């Protein structure tokens, strides 16, 4: 510890603390321009100069650490004079166009000039001009180079956090400018983080340009809806229109960083396509109606199904808040007396139980920052750069500050590969065998220590030839991964739903964790979720065999796939879909369409028209995340507040609509004044939430379990032993289950599916944002250059892609992101519905459809231009 004096005030602080931070602790504000807490230190602006008693020269406080006995002056005459001179130099060539600059009112240069700067400038010559007109750098960025002050924040965040490095400096001296080479963002994420950190109006948002002034906007802090990371952000609105989204400075898991979806994916909220009034089917058409008539129609349709003894099913979106999901399951179970309920995530009971068990095997439920305090990070079963971009940014930023071996295992290349020591490519669905191969090497070298390892008999027959044949992975990559893991004291395994939802794959992971713990390694497990409230849906009981609080029941309820299967046989009298577009999400789209045709009564509660709304008998307008209060639970078990920025454009929040339906059915115990009241009811039923209320969640949320009001929440679970009576692991080993469809002479290619960084799920939200849509306006089939030559296909050529279930015309994108023999399609585009091709064959244990892999062929189109 160091004891220092700052402006005469003595404080004791950690050794190595920067003077800038020490002064803040002591209550003194030192202005900065180039400094940013999340970026490397540059010390170029010299605005933060301070006087250290005994030293001849002023020192930049942003890079100078305190020392014991140091005396610092931040407001001495010489410091004030130097500070004013530095600001004067920044203003020398800076244009005085504040009235027309988008940064006006939130410009850091304005602020420090007003507070610390000169009142006049001696510079009378013409100011430097790079361009007379602003120019477009990307679909989201417009640049005014004349305003740049050379702080290089944009360059640093692009390289150090986003990991793209498309920005850089050109020229020298007064001619220095920040740009991308040839001003093309070929590899840009279009995330807008460079705009966020720019202290002046040099980099500006095209979507916000000339739209508003910050003092005209009402800002509300909330949580992003686009993935399970749980980024905190601020939605800014004017009247009933969302104008922009910005990050919260230095708060939340994301620490001021957002991805393109989080920052620009808000346009759907005020889209002209929004479903704003209820609609009821009259004959073959859907007609607008009143809320009263729509709810009456819902009541009649549900009542008829009950009276006729037909099945009733409900499927809710993982984008709904915890409070809405809790009410939805209460409506289905308590009012409609059915356990036929599920979320769009479609976790089978076997998968949920195995997931809960595997979390008990390690330090499950960590914060991401605890998880990344590790020597080696193994990521598998998840397209992290495309599905959770900000998690990608966090990993890259931390790995840049400390030595951490990143091992990527995926069927398809990702941006984070650039920061990895090893990238393993494998066939879709073979993640378990990849783990098995790593474990085989560890077992063979430690056979005496691991003689009691559960499932070890299978390892004896797992040869390197078998692993390579199943996974199509080079054995030397498996050896390298094993070497990195065994050389590490701490190992974190970050896994996505491609592993977590499939018990046969989790068993391999269970064995690996047990083996490493026996060998004295510190093993951590971190789950990766692709939907904003995927975890919350399970915790709220939106599942046929789970009640709120992870209370399992043995019932006869149907999950989403069972409901659709029953509907195809005409057994479902009524189906209630809350925010779910099953015709885009279900693995076999043709089968799902037939199921909806056989469903007697369909209620769809949603915010936008989808493939599914066209089949609805009643449409109830939904509300976006910016139009409701409530909570989401992210992948860390962190419950965070979702706050309302504007009133629901359709007139009601989703929780109010569910309560209206319950009331119409004669239920009186589902009337609430606010989502906080709904949460309090839930907390009274589920002990793991007993100490949580909405007020306690401010500002950064709480990780459950939180058993009482004085409990701070639980950062780390299961730290010493397995959470079983004997402290040991339970193994229920299952061998690798091969894909139901493998390539053959007729269908020689594997189709893998997933998300693109630019879009989300069925694309109904992201495709209504021009800033995002223009980045990837048309879906394309990714094809390896080897296969392009093999089938004589050129880049951007349209082909006919077909499987045993359907076909589509689609453009080809030739890329080495996919391996030879493997293709890739995302499921965001209504004009290229991937589920026309994919397979609905079920995993024999967990009954999850095989959406991520099937066999296809491609053919050239006649008359292709």
**Predicted local confidence at residue 531, as pLDDT:** 87
Selection from 634, 702, 775 nearest residue 263 by Cα: 775
Per mean pLDDT, which range of 140-144, 509-513, 794-798 is the poorest? 509-513
Reduce the secondary structure of 233-286 to three states and give it as a string: EEEEEECCEEEEEEECCCCCCCCCCCCHHHHHCCHHHHCCCCCCCCEEEECCEE
Looking at domain 350-527, its CATH class is: alpha beta
- Residue with more model confidence, 455 or 685: 685
pLDDT of residue 763: 74
Report the 10 Å Cβ neighbour count for 805. 18
* pLDDT band per the 50, 70, 90 thresholds, residue 585: confident
What is the full DSSP assignment across 689-709? GTT--TGGGTTT-EESP--ST
- CA nearest 386: which of 481, 255, 496? 496
Rounded mean pLDDT, 662-689: 94
The pair of three-digit structure tokens given for residue 5, joined into one six-digit string: 């004096």
Q: Is the pLDDT of residue 458 over 70?
A: yes
Q: How far apart are CA 236 and CA 478, in angstroms?
A: 48
∠ CA 278-282-285, nearest 5°, is: 80
| Ranges 110-114, 155-159, 501-505, 572-576, most confident | 572-576
Query: In the predicted model, what is the mean pLDDT of the chain?
Result: 88
pLDDT at 359 over 70: no
Average pLDDT, stretch 287-312? 95
Domain boundaries, the chain: 2-92, 126-270, 279-345+533-626+649-681, 350-527, 749-860
**pLDDT for res 382:** 87
Identify the pLDDT of residue 845. Answer: 55
* End-to-end Cα spacing for the chain: 72
In this structure, of 179-193, 253-267, 340-354, 627-641, the range with the lowest mean pLDDT score is 179-193
CATH of the structural domain 749-860, one choice from 3.20.20.10, 1.10.10.10, 2.40.40.20, 3.10.20.30: 2.40.40.20
More confident residue, 224 or 367: 224
For 136-191, how does the pLDDT look when each residue is reduced to its tens digit (9 = 90+)? 888 889 999 899 999 999 999 988 888 888 887 777 776 777 767 654 566 788 89
**Average pLDDT of the segment spanning 805-830:** 88
pLDDT band at 722 (very low <50, low <70, confident <90, very high): very low
839, HSE (Cβ side, Cα atoms, 13 Å): 20
As assigned by CATH, the class of the 2-92 domain is alpha beta
Q: CATH fold of 279-345+533-626+649-681, please?
A: Rossmann fold (3.40.50)
**Where is pLDDT greater, at 775 or 818?**
818
State the fold for domain 126-270.
Alpha-Beta Plaits (3.30.70)
Residue 356 has a pLDDT of 72
Between 761 and 644, the higher pLDDT residue: 644
Contact by Cβ (8 Å): 495, 380: yes
Is pLDDT of 853 > 90?
A: no
- The backbone torsions φ and ψ at residue 782, rounded to the nearest 5 degrees and listed phi first, read -75, 130
- Say yes or no to pLDDT of 723 above 50: no
- pLDDT (tens digit per residue) in 224-263: 999 999 999 999 999 899 999 999 887 788 888 999 999 9
Q: Which residues are CB-contacts of 8 (< 8 A; sequence separation ≥ 6)?
A: none
Report the pLDDT value the prediction gives residue 312, as an integer from 0 to 100: 97
């Amino acid at each position: 510890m160091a004891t220092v004096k700052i402006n005469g005030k003595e404080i004791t602080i950690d050794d190595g603390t920067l003077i800038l931070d020490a002064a803040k602790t002591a209550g003194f504000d030192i202005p900065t321009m180039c400094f940013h807490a999340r970026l490397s230190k540059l010390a170029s602006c010299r605005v933060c100069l301070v006087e250290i008693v005994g030293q001849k020269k002023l020192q930049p406080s942003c890079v100078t650490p305190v020392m014991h006995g140091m005396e610092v002056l931040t407001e001495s005459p010489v410091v004030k004079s130097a500070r004013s001179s530095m600001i004067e130099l920044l203003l020398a060539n800076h244009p005085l166009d504040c009235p027309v600059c988008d940064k006006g009112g939130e410009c850091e240069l304005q602020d420090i000039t007003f507070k610390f700067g000169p009142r006049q400038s001696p510079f009378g010559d013409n100011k430097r001009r790079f361009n007379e007109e602003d120019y477009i750098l990307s679909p989201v960025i417009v640049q005014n180079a004349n305003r740049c002050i050379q702080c290089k924040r944009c360059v640093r965040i692009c390289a150090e956090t986003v990991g793209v490095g498309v920005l850089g400096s050109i020229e020298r001296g007064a001619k220095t400018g920040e740009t991308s080479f040839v001003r093309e963002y070929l590899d840009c994420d279009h995330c807008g983080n460079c705009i966020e950190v720019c202290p002046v109006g040099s980099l500006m948002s095209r979507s916000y340009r000339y739209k508003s002034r910050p003092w005209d906007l009402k800002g509300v802090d909330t949580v992003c809806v686009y993935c399970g990371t749980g980024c905190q952000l601020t939605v800014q609105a004017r009247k009933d229109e969302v104008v922009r989204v910005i990050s919260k400075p230095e708060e939340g898991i994301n620490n001021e960083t957002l991805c393109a979806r989080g920052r620009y994916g808000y346009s759907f909220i005020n889209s002209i396509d929004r479903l704003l009034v209820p609609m009821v089917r009259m004959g073959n058409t859907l007609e607008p109606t009143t809320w009263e008539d729509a709810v009456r129609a819902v009541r009649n349709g549900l009542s008829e199904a009950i009276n006729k003894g037909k099945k009733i099913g409900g499927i809710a979106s993982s984008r709904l808040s915890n409070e809405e999901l809790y009410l939805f399951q209460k409506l289905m179970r308590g009012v409609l007396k059915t356990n036929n309920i599920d979320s769009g995530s479609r976790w089978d009971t076997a998968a949920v139980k195995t997931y809960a068990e595997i979390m008990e095997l390690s330090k499950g439920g960590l914060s991401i920052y605890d998880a990344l305090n590790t020597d080696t990070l193994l990521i598998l079963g998840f397209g992290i750069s495309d599905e959770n971009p900000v998690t990608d940014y966090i990993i890259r930023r931390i790995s840049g500050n400390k030595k951490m071996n990143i091992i990527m295992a995926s069927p398809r290349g990702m941006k984070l590969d650039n920061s990895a020591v090893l990238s393993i490519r494998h066939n879709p669905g073979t993640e378990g065998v990849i783990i098995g191969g790593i474990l085989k090497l560890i077992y063979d070298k430690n056979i005496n220590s691991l003689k009691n390892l559960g499932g070890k008999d299978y390892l004896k027959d797992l040869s390197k030839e078998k692993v390579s044949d199943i996974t199509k992975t080079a054995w030397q990559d498996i050896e390298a991964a094993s070497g990195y893991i065994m050389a590490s004291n701490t190992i974190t395994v970050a896994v996505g739903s491609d592993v977590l939802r499939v018990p046969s794959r989790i068993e391999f992971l269970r064995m690996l964790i047990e083996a490493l713990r026996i060998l004295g390694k510190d093993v951590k497990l971190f789950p990766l979720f692709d939907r904003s409230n995927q975890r919350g849906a399970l915790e709220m009981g939106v599942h046929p065999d789970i009640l709120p609080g992870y209370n399992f029941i043995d019932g006869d309820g149907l999950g989403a796939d069972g409901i659709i299967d029953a509907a195809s046989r005409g057994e479902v009298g009524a189906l209630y879909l809350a925010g779910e577009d099953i015709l885009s999400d279900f693995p076999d789209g043709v089968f799902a369409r037939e199921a909806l045709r056989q469903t007697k009564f369909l209620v769809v509660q949603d915010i936008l028209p989808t493939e599914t709304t066209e089949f609805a008998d009643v449409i109830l307008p939904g509300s976006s995340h910016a139009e409701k209060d409530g909570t989401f639970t992210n992948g860390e078990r962190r419950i965070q507040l979702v706050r309302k920025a504007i009133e629901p454009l359709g007139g009601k929040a989703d929780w109010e609509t569910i309560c209206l339906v319950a009331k119409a059915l004669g239920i009186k115990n589902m009337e609430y004044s606010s989502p906080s009241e709904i949460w309090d009811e839930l907390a009274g039923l589920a002990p793991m939430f007993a100490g949580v209320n909405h007020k306690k969640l401010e500002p950064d949320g709480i990780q459950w379990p939180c058993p009482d009001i004085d409990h701070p929440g639980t950062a780390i679970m299961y730290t010493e032993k397995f959470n079983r009576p004997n402290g040991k692991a339970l193994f229920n080993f299952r061998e690798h289950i091969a894909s139901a469809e493998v390539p053959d002479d007729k269908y020689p290619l594997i189709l893998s599916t997933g998300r693109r960084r630019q879009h989300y799920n069925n694309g109904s939200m992201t495709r209504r944002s021009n800033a995002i849509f223009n980045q990837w306006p048309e879906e394309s089939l990714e094809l390896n250059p080897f296969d392009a030559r093999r089938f004589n296909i050129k880049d951007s050529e349209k082909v006919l892609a077909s499987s045993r279930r359907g076909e589509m015309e689609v453009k080809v994108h030739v890329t080495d992101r996919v391996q030879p023999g493997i293709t890739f399609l995302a499921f965001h585009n209504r004009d290229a519905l991937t589920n026309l091709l994919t397979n609905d064959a079920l995993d024999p244990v967990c009954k999850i459809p095989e959406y991520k892999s099937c066999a296809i062929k491609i053919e050239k189109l006649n008359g292709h231009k």
